Chain A
Amino acid sequence: MSDNGGRAHSNDERPATLIAELTYRCVLRCPYCSNPTDCGDARYRRELETEEWVRVFHEARRLGVLQLGLTGGEPLLRRDIVELAAGARAAGLYSTLVTAATPLPRERLIELRDAGLDHVQVSIQDATPEESDRIGGTPGAFPKKIEAARTAKELGFPLTLNFVLHRHNLDRLGGMLALAEELDADRVELANTQYYGWGLHNRDALMPTREQVERSRDVFEDARLRLGSRMDLLYVIPDYFEEFPKPCMGGWGRRAIVMAPNGDAMPCQAAASIPDLTFPNVRDHSLDWIWWESETFNRFRGFEWMQEPCRSCARRDLDYGGCRCQALLLTGDARATDPVCSLSPLHDIVVQARENPELRPLVPLEYRSMKGTALSR
């Protein structure tokens, strides 16, 4: 372990989570996909081999990581997914398969369970088959997801359902909660779209109205009272409607490592949108060096990099200035205060984007693709 100038690393400086984006290939085409807009780029096709991922899992555990997300794209498109689940268990990580479950056959779930996978998270795009398949851009996906969710429960996995929320489905939040109840989910994540990458590109089509947001809060509160003792319910409103920004990723280089399919290590899933950052790769560096020493992971640690109003703000320990990627995407400066913050001098950018979307012409959704031609920016 590197010694950081003779000082031992304290436990709260260690990462707790590794988000392993095993591949950017996917069966769905959601218009808010969290993968980079150039996810079809040749560099991401040079995916880490099985043994490289397993080495990373062991390095992550030695660094302090406890939670591993096996995600994508669609992680089931990796033919070695069962081996990777076994590698995660051998390394001592608690692993979650983050999947669209389209399809996820019973035999595969049994193999994954026997390999030591701990937890299954299934994404569903809406409460009804027609709408879910429309947003995912994949006809026929919905019944397969439901089948996989039921099988996962039956095989003894804890089950999380994940719904991404936006203008097109927020009014069916009650239906999503009813579906979660019917499937006896252990956890439900109801998270509004984050506006980076694909989501930002489709922002005008996805931004809910204030009335929708208000109504959805009431629906959620009712459900929490009814279901809260049986399942963990997590609801995230769009940060554009918040007064203060979120502590993105629990702070830059504080809690999590995201790894792209080719082994690029990033402090968050949207970090590839910051143009002057270079991402250290696990094919060239140890994860230990990447976490403690690399310029990229150190760039927005602590408070030195901050500008006003963050620098002297009492909330800087709570939100770390918000999201660096959002600051960059909306203000052009990754060091700026996240403009979601009502104290930001540029907060009006966010206000303009969220006001009266119902008055704007309805813009069509642009589906995610790996061609990347429409989004060359």
Chain B
Amino acid sequence: MTAPAAFPDSARPRLARGIRLQWDDVRSQSMLLFPEGALELNETAAKVLELCDGERTVADVVGILEARYPGADVGPDVKELLGRLEERRFVTRDGRPPAKERP
């Protein structure tokens, strides 16, 4: 299995279908929910995923985060996170889902 190419700045990442980002107020923790499982997300990962709506590009997401945290170089971390989640098929890079898939 070859690793997919890193996320380009122009990609429009979003959660894959059937994947849900949810705040768990019992555990005080952001969770990524998927078939038969859940992944605890740290605060940074949750903030990145909240912005990945299939319309914003990776560059947009990085820009928003850098405006929020001046001086931070978040680009490599964002791409690394998205790459790892894409490998597990939690994230896709192909933009907005067709209308019938929307909640």
Give, as a whole number of angstroms, the nearest-CB distance from B89 to chain A: 7
With A64-B26, A64-B27, A94-B33 as given contacts, are A118 and B100 in contact (CB-CB < 8 Å)? no
**A16, B38: Cβ atoms closer than 8 Å:** yes
The digit string for B76-103, where 1 denotes a CB below 8 A from any CB of A, is: 0000000000000100000001001101
User: Residue A370 at the B interface, CB < 8 A?
Assistant: no
- For A14, A94, A156, A157, which residue has the most chain B Cβ atoms within 10 angstroms? A94
**B20, A94: Cβ atoms closer than 8 Å:** yes
- For B31, B33, B97, which residue has the most chain A Cβ atoms within 10 angstroms? B33
CA–CA, A155 and B33, complex, Å? 19
Give, as a whole number of angstroms, the nearest-CB distance from B96 to chain A: 13
CA–CA, A193 and B20, complex, Å? 31
**B38, A94: Cβ atoms closer than 8 Å:** yes
- For A11, A66, A157, which residue has the most chain B Cβ atoms within 10 angstroms? A66
**B36, A67: Cβ atoms closer than 8 Å:** yes
Chain A positions within 8 Å of B101 at CB level: 156
Chain B positions within 8 Å of A186 at CB level: 18, 35, 89
With A61-B26, A156-B100 as given contacts, are A67 and B38 in contact (CB-CB < 8 Å)? yes
CA–CA, A157 and B33, complex, Å? 14
**A228, B1: Cβ atoms closer than 8 Å:** yes
**A118, B26: Cβ atoms closer than 8 Å:** no
How many residue pairs between the two chains, A and B, have CB atoms under 8 Å in the bound complex? 59
User: Residue A357 at the B interface, CB < 8 A?
Assistant: no
**B18, A157: Cβ atoms closer than 8 Å:** yes
User: Residue A309 at the B interface, CB < 8 A?
Assistant: no
Chain B positions within 8 Å of A64 at CB level: 24, 26-27
User: Residue A158 at the B interface, CB < 8 A?
Assistant: yes
User: Residue A376 at the B interface, CB < 8 A?
Assistant: no
Which of chain A's residues 223-243 have a Cβ closer than 8 Å to chain B?
228-229, 232
- Closest residue of chain A to B29 (Cβ to Cβ) is A11
How many chain B residues touch A (Cβ–Cβ < 8 Å)? 21
Chain A positions within 8 Å of B17 at CB level: 156-158
**B35, A187: Cβ atoms closer than 8 Å:** yes
Partner of B35, one of A11, A155, A156, A160: A160
User: Residue B37 at the A interface, CB < 8 A?
Assistant: yes
Give, as a whole number of angstroms, the nearest-CB distance from B68 to chain A: 27
Give, as a whole number of angstroms, the nearest-CB distance from B13 to chain A: 18
Residues of B within 8 A of A (CB): 1, 17-18, 20, 22, 24, 26-27, 29, 31, 33-38, 89, 97, 100-101, 103
The digit string for A7-18, where 1 denotes a CB below 8 A from any CB of B, is: 000010010100
Partner of A66, one of B24, B89, B97: B24
**B36, A187: Cβ atoms closer than 8 Å:** yes
Give, as a whole number of angstroms, the nearest-CB distance from B90 to chain A: 11
**A119, B26: Cβ atoms closer than 8 Å:** no
User: Residue A96 at the B interface, CB < 8 A?
Assistant: yes
With A67-B37, A92-B22 as given contacts, are A156 and B97 in contact (CB-CB < 8 Å)? yes
Give, as a whole number of angstroms, the nearest-CB distance from B85 to chain A: 14
**B22, A119: Cβ atoms closer than 8 Å:** no
Chain A positions within 8 Å of B36 at CB level: 67, 96, 119, 160, 187
CA–CA, A11 and B101, complex, Å? 33
User: Residue A62 at the B interface, CB < 8 A?
Assistant: yes
Chain A positions within 8 Å of B22 at CB level: 92, 94
**B89, A155: Cβ atoms closer than 8 Å:** no
Chain B positions within 8 Å of A156 at CB level: 17-18, 97, 100-101
CA–CA, A155 and B98, complex, Å? 10
User: Residue A365 at the B interface, CB < 8 A?
Assistant: no
User: Residue A248 at the B interface, CB < 8 A?
Assistant: no
**B20, A118: Cβ atoms closer than 8 Å:** yes
Give, as a whole number of angstroms, the nearest-CB distance from A216 to chain B: 22
- Closest residue of chain A to B26 (Cβ to Cβ) is A64
Give, as a whole number of angstroms, the nearest-CB distance from A303 to chain B: 25
Chain B positions within 8 Å of A229 at CB level: 1
With A94-B38, A157-B18, A229-B1 as given contacts, are A66 and B31 in contact (CB-CB < 8 Å)? yes
CA–CA, A157 and B34, complex, Å? 11
User: Residue A63 at the B interface, CB < 8 A?
Assistant: yes
Chain A positions within 8 Å of B26 at CB level: 11, 14, 61-64
A-B contact pairs, 19 of them (CB 8 A): A62-B26, A64-B24, A64-B27, A66-B24, A66-B33, A67-B33, A67-B36, A92-B22, A116-B103, A118-B33, A121-B35, A156-B17, A156-B18, A156-B101, A158-B35, A160-B35, A160-B36, A187-B36, A232-B89
